[in-house]
Structure 1
Amino acid sequence: MMTVSVSPLRRALARVGAQEDLNFLLTNRLPRRLATRFMGWFSRIEQPLVRDLSIATWRLFCDVDLSDAREARFPSLHAAFIRALRPGARPIAADPAILTSPSDAILGAHGRIEAGRLLQIKGLSYRLIELLGGDAQLAEAHEGGSYATLRLTAGMYHRFHAPHDLRVESVRHIWGDTWNVNPIALKRVEALFCRNERAVLRLRVAEAGHAVTLVPVAAILVAGLRLGFLPEGAALRRTGGQTLPCTARLAKGDEMGWFEHGSTIVVLAPAGFTLLPDLTEGRRLRMGEPLMRLPPAAQAG
């Protein structure tokens, strides 16, 4: 009787494992940079037949909803990827005690930053200082704080927005690889977020002096990151990893930038910030929905 019940389970697990191995092989064992450059070129082709077939293929393999887009038609696949939303499509939680999700996303690993480490996925952690490109002072500022990993899938809205009234203090681009950031890759590649190309955006929220950091992480087919508030945003890779001072002020919900496909944003907050208790891994969030609660002193400010 035990053999009859366990054998189908083993076969099912084996099939899942084989599918995950194939997914990992197809999305990571090809020339990632070459594939990403090709996709960047191909997606910008503004030929109607190429555009229509590309968008149709994209919608076939991804859960894409263009009903809330500002435009009804797009000149290219790339334009559809980076679409803007029609006004009012994403209500913003106005409560000043709330830090909102900067993007549409699936909530991944989240919790408290302890001993300088964060979970990448259950059972696998990475060092915060490595994610931040060796910035020990910034890593220390977030010790004991909260973090949330927000994964943007290929079909999601790809722009990200200010999670609170804030000023941007600095931006730093960190060169890296373009591993896929889906759960299959997260289980197989140690410290994946610390390997990929990314940017570190240092923010101050609510005029209370609290440091919040956003780390947008690029991925295969995605490694284009644009920051609308920064003149150098169109050429971050040319900054050579320098920290770029910034004085931009943004209101809650203002657009900050966009990915050119889909990827991940790691949200880092200092001690005193708490994640909303009803948030669970795998939950789909929309930009502007509550993510964290500010410390009481910050709320009073």
Structure 2
Amino acid sequence: MKNQNILQRLALNEDLNFLLTNRIPRTAFTRFMGWFSRIRHPWVRDASMAVWRSFTDIDLSEARKTSFNSLHDCFVRELKPGARPLDAREHVLVSPCDAIVGACGRIGDDPGAQVFQAKGFPYPLTDLLGTDARGLATIDTLRGGSYVTLRLTSSMYHRLHAPTPLTLTHLTYHSGDTWNVNPIALKRIERLFCKNERAALHARLDDGTPLLLVPVAAILVASMRLRAVDVALNAQYRGPHQLLSNARYDKGEEMGWFEHGSTILVFTPPGFALANGVEAGHRIRMGEALLRR
């Protein structure tokens, strides 16, 4: 326990954390960890999970399985049925994941539709989504709306769920870097979310209201799997970056997962507000109220 506390204190040291996670060959290290985490040898699995536990407060009591074939198998674990009750109120959009709320608030009315990744670090949605016809059309519907940044830590449940009944109409994959997306990096690297690998999930609610979800990858986790797409979206992906979809999801239905943990950005048009208690630093679980009409 003493050694674990020492390791956790080191991990929380901002300068050391930033140096270790962002001053190394990020892409090469991410590819290595993607391969290493899938090794199924019991010694490798057990040693890897022991190190992981030293740095995190991971709780596997809610996991559907009680044993795992590899470190990756644990990363993408499913939960027991009923582990995440849904707020069933029709006017409520629930959190699509377990997370810590980061920057949140109102989307700017300016041409770039400015939002914030951290205090004093704005970024325009034109940089996040691009300036092609699809990106600009989406931005036009979002100006003056609301946004929430949801940060998944490495120990959290890593699956993405529909925040309300919706239809996924279009997916735009943006290849990019693999900067760490923890609060330390967000205070130091401008427009970080616009630089990293990400997927813009364009959706519509049953009444036609647009909704945008943007999973952002990071170091060690530059890979996403979406049920509407039968390939992994990562640095090795060479397929089309514009993918049409007509996948329908009920509230709380699983849409995909990260290969580890990262960030999900949620954007709504005007007419939505943050649910009670949702503010920066708030811990939220999938299925709890995030936004309300």
Above 0.5 in TM-score?
A: yes
Q: Does 1:208 align with 2:207?
A: yes
Secondary structure of 2:50's aligned partner: helix
Secondary structure of 2:127's aligned partner: helix
CA-to-aligned-CA distance 1:31-69 (integer Å, 9 cap, x gap): 000110010010000000110111111111012111100
Q: Does 1:39 align with 2:33?
A: yes
My pick for the range that moved more, 222-231 or 77-86, is 222-231
Cα distance 1:233–1:223, how it changes in 2: closer, same or farther (>3 A)?
closer
> What is the aligned partner in structure 1 of residue 15 from structure 2?
21
Contact 1:173-1:237 within 8 A present in 2 as well = no
Unaligned 5+ segments in structure 1 are 1-15, 295-301
**Of 99, 113, 124, which aligns to 1:127?**
124
Query: How far apart are the structure 2 equivalents of 1:19 and 1:234?
Result: 32
> What is the aligned partner in structure 2 of residue 297 from structure 1?
none
Query: How far apart are the structure 2 equivalents of 1:250 and 1:231?
Result: 16
- Structure 1 position 227, deviation (Å): 0.2
> What is the aligned partner in structure 2 of residue 266 from structure 1?
265
Query: How far apart are the structure 2 equivalents of 1:225 and 1:244?
Result: 15
CA-to-aligned-CA distance 1:192-217 (integer Å, 9 cap, x gap): 00000000001111x11100000000
Query: How far apart are the structure 2 equivalents of 1:19 and 1:95?
Result: 41
- Structure 1 position 277, deviation (Å): 3.3
> What is the aligned partner in structure 2 of residue 140 from structure 1?
140
Q: In structure 1, give the amino acid aligned to 2:123.
A: Y
Q: Does 1:165 align with 2:161?
A: no
- Structure 1 position 20, deviation (Å): 1.5
Contact 2:203-2:212 within 8 A present in 1 as well = yes
Contact 2:228-2:245 within 8 A present in 1 as well = no
- Structure 1 position 279, deviation (Å): 1.3
> What is the aligned partner in structure 2 of residue 150 from structure 1?
150
Unaligned 5+ segments in structure 2 are 1-9
> What is the aligned partner in structure 1 of residue 243 from structure 2?
244
Cα RMSD over matched residues?
Answer: 1.7
Query: How far apart are the structure 2 equivalents of 1:176 and 1:64?
Result: 29
Q: In structure 2, give the amino acid aligned to 1:113.
A: I
> What is the aligned partner in structure 2 of residue 82 from structure 1?
76
> What is the aligned partner in structure 2 of residue 223 from structure 1?
222
- Structure 1 position 239, deviation (Å): 2.3
**Of 87, 95, 98, which aligns to 1:101?**
95
> What is the aligned partner in structure 1 of residue 198 from structure 2?
198
Runs of 4+ aligned structure 1 residues displaced above 6 Å come to none
Query: How far apart are the structure 1 equivalents of 2:172 and 2:143?
Result: 20
Secondary structure of 1:246's aligned partner: strand
Cα distance 1:165–1:257, how it changes in 2: closer, same or farther (>3 A)?
same
Higher helix content, 1 or 2: 1
My pick for the range that moved more, 163-172 or 129-138, is 129-138
Contact 2:145-2:270 within 8 A present in 1 as well = yes
> What is the aligned partner in structure 1 of residue 6 from structure 2?
none
TM-score scaled by structure 1? Answer: 0.89
Secondary structure of 2:130's aligned partner: coil
> What is the aligned partner in structure 2 of residue 118 from structure 1?
115
Secondary structure of 2:13's aligned partner: helix
TM-score scaled by structure 2? Answer: 0.91
> What is the aligned partner in structure 2 of residue 63 from structure 1?
57
Q: Does 1:291 align with 2:290?
A: yes
Query: How far apart are the structure 2 equivalents of 1:214 and 1:128?
Result: 12
Q: In structure 1, give the amino acid aligned to 2:158.
A: H
Cα distance 1:191–1:45, how it changes in 2: closer, same or farther (>3 A)?
same
Query: How far apart are the structure 1 equivalents of 2:130 and 2:42?
Result: 42
Contact 2:223-2:232 within 8 A present in 1 as well = no
- Structure 1 position 71, deviation (Å): 0.2
- Structure 1 position 228, deviation (Å): 1.3
How many percent identity over aligned positions?
55
Q: In structure 2, give the amino acid aligned to 1:98.
A: V
Secondary structure of 1:78's aligned partner: helix
Aligned residues: 277
Q: In structure 2, give the amino acid aligned to 1:176.
A: G
